[in-house]
Structure 1
Amino acid sequence: MKRLLLPIVGILIFTSLKAQQDPRFTQFMFNKLVTNSGYAGSKGLISTNLIYRHEWIGFDGEPVTQNFSIDAPIEKLHGGIGLSVVNDALGFENTTGGLLHYSYRTNAGSGVIGIGIQAGFFMKGMDVSNMKPSSSEFDDAIPAAAQSGWLPDLGLGVYYNTKNIYFGISTSHIIESKMKYSGTDPTSGLNYSGQLQFKRHYYISTGYEYDMGAKLILMPSVLIKSDGTMTQLDINTNLAYKIKTKKAWAGLSYSSGDLIRSQAFLALLLGMDITNNLHFGYAYDVTPTAINLFGNRLFNTSIQTHEIMLGYDFNISPPAKPIHIIRTPRFL
């Protein structure tokens, strides 16, 4: 039954359903540059982050995502800059590319606000050579040959943080770039045509760090994602134990269902500061759920996902004329 995923993904892609296209990360609180360019430079450090996510273990065409990001404050630019690179594979569609980020940061009340912009290019492509249609009917949206092309991308974000709290709002894929394709199927002689397109996404995020005493710190965070048609809610709560200058944490994450998974699911999070600069995190998502298509239940199964995060911060000397950077809590 698990081999049904690849044709299901094919249907989702070629019928141009308004599914969210940006990869999802359970440990979103560790790397907010992925969703908000206004975050760049907010830690006051040269901060690097690497995430590997493998979803729907055991299914053909399962989503696999790698993301790398780096950002740093730059005094002469009155803010911060960053770079994020992503490779996201789902079924026979693959997206690879990078974004440059800039955030203008200035004092605002008891905190700092960052107004950011991101721009870059993505290589979007698909190869249906491994797809095995369930019928002999011709679909004029499915190309007979592999397709690929470069798409420009643009996004905006606003990020505000104090010592213990943050709030962000952002949008990606503002220009909704698209790539059209067409050709003739050599087997049937029929023409095919279609397009691959980015759909604009919107994000709202917030989080708080509360010192409970006895070396315990409560760190709740929320992320709301929407493409204007579909909205997903992620709620995360980590409890950290402070060991001198380092932390170890564990938590639970709740995520609402999506186009494929009808039910909400939970995730377990674990992590620690290996050193003062090196951080490790792991998330395990599992849900006994139903695979759905167009509102119809196809079969019941258990979806499992593994996500690994590594982060490293490089200390930098404080600028001669600081812009009153407030260092966010370690997990932010």
Structure 2
Amino acid sequence: MKKYIVAAALVLSAWQSRAQQDAMYTQYMFNTLAINPAYAGSRNVPSLTGLYRSQWVGVEGAPETQTVSFDTALPNKRVGAGIQVFNDKLGVTNTTGANLSYAYRILMEKGTLAFGLQASVTQYRADFSSVRLNSANPSDMAFYSNVNKVMPNFGAGIYYNTDKFYLGLSTPHLFNNRLVNDSVTTSNALAARQYLHFFMSSGYVFTLDQTFKLKPSVLFKGVAGAPLQLDLNCNLWIADRFAVGAQYRTGDAVAGILELQASDQIRIGYSYDRSTSKLVDYNSGSHEIMIRYEFGFRKDRIVGPRYF
């Protein structure tokens, strides 16, 4: 019975609530292109990143997310471009899509200020007819019709970074698309829809000595109708090759993070989340794996490692 209650809560949250709808990442600092198009090209070399997240392991219908992104700065370094494809599954819903990002970069004395635009297309599918309903009420209209809809959208962002600091503001999608088929006559007031998401992110690297560096970062997430969420993160880098860190996400989870700079071009990350909400009784945690490969030659790279 508990399993069905949790599964039903997941379905209803995907259908009716205005809580955070975009996929959630613990290693957001490695997947910044997903939340801010102005990040494109900020590493100054072609960069390919893959990320897989399995959330709330043990809960039927729990979120599962895969993303692959590529971004690069054009030869004059004043323009960045990027693309991301993603797949996010939650209960009987599945969201698949792609984002194209453009960033105009202003090179400053100590850093770079970028203004970004994003165009995206998303296919949203909801197999509501597969939900097992109570035999006493088998004709609930909320689960009567499946949804299969393609939705375009646009986003924008600002991103400033130096070798050891960054600050970003963004909204990945501006249109409140209805999450129902166009033929459905549900009123606008009652129809489930996409809602504006706002992100503010920042981080800094403190040099403790020649071996150790401390890298705190923060991410604010806001969406209409849901509480503001804050991710607090802190990593300790050792000899610019290995990092261990922790994260606290308000109202949701704590996490441990490991990072390995396996070579000049390859970085690997892993995180494990443990719920702090009532869901802790129904799952064994969340796992996230990231790998990044940079194609740049030594002459194109900045002096020293990139932390963001």
Count residues in correspondence. 303
What displacement does 1:183 show?
8.1
Q: Deviations over 1:62-119 (max 9, x none)?
A: 1000011110001358310000111000000110000100000012452110100000
Change (3 A) 1:64 1:204: same
Please say if residues 14 and 90 of structure 2, whose CA atoms lie closer than 8 Å, have aligned partners that are also in contact: no
Report the structure, 1 or 2, having the larger strand content: 1
Deviation (angstroms), 1:210: 1.1
Segments of structure 2 that go 5 or more residues without pairing to the other structure are: none
More displaced 10-residue stretch of structure 1: 125-134 or 20-29 = 125-134
Q: Residue type of the partner of 1:312?
A: Y
Describe the superposition over 1:93-148 as per-residue Cα deviations: whole angstroms up to 9, x where unpaired: 1100001000000124521101000002000011124311236334323234x321
- C-alpha change, 1:164 and 1:139, in structure 2 (3 Å) is same
TM-score by length of 2: 0.90
What secondary structure does 1:181 align onto? coil
* Structure 1 residue corresponding to 2:255, chosen from 267, 274, 287: 267
Residue 187 of structure 1 is matched in structure 2 by: none
Where in structure 1 do 4 or more consecutive aligned residues deviate above 6 Å?
Answer: 191-194, 325-328
Within the alignment, does 1:285 sit opposite 2:273 as a pair?
Answer: yes
Distance 1:7 1:236, change over 3 A: same
| Corresponding residue of 1:23 | 23
**2:303 and 2:134 mapped to 1: Cα distance?**
55
The match for 2:291 among 310, 317, 328 is 310
C-alpha distance in structure 1 between counterparts of 2:163 and 2:11, whole Å:
46
1:253 aligns with 2:251: no
Q: Is 2:179–2:194's contact at 8 Å kept on the other side of the alignment?
A: no
Q: Name structure 1 gaps, 5 residues minimum.
A: 185-190, 258-263, 292-298, 320-324
1:112-123 equivalences under 5 Å are 112-123=112-123
Distance in 2 between the 1:177 and 1:192 partners?
13
Instruction: Report sequence identity in percent.
Output: 32
Give the direction of change, closer, same or farther, for the CA distance of 1:228–1:288 in structure 2 (3 Å limit): closer
Amino acid at match of 1:223: L
Quote the Cα distance in structure 1 between the aligned partners of 2:179 and 2:248.
35
CA RMSD of aligned residues (A): 2.5
Paired residues of 1:143 and 1:182 also in contact (CA < 8 A): no
CA contact (8 A) 2:159 2:166 kept: yes
Aligned to 1:261: none
Query: How far has the Cα of 1:273 moved from its partner?
Result: 1.1
Per-residue Cα deviation, 1:266-318 (whole angstroms, up to 9, x for no partner) = 10001201111111100000135314xxxxxxx94455100000110111476
What code does the residue aligned with 1:233 have?
A: L
Q: CA deviation at 1:30?
A: 1.5
* Compared CA separation, residues 3 and 162, structure 1 to 2 (3 A): same
Give the counterpart of 1:227 among 223, 248, 266: 223
Match of 1:43 in 2: 43
The amino acid that maps onto 2:84 is: S
**Please, which of 202, 205, 208 is the counterpart of residue 212 of structure 1?**
208
Which letter maps to 1:174? L
Q: Which structure has more helix as a fraction of its residues?
A: 2
1:2-21 to structure 2, matched below 5 A, reads 2-14=3-15, 16-21=16-21
Query: Quick check: 1-10 or 24-33, which moved more?
Result: 1-10
Cα gap change, 1:238/1:45 in structure 2, threshold over 3 Å: closer, same or farther? same
Distance (Å, rounded) in 2 between the aligned partners of 1:183 and 1:150: 13
Give the corresponding residue for 1:200: 196
Q: What is the TM-score of this pair, normalised by structure 1?
A: 0.84
69-78 or 231-240, larger mean C-alpha shift: 69-78
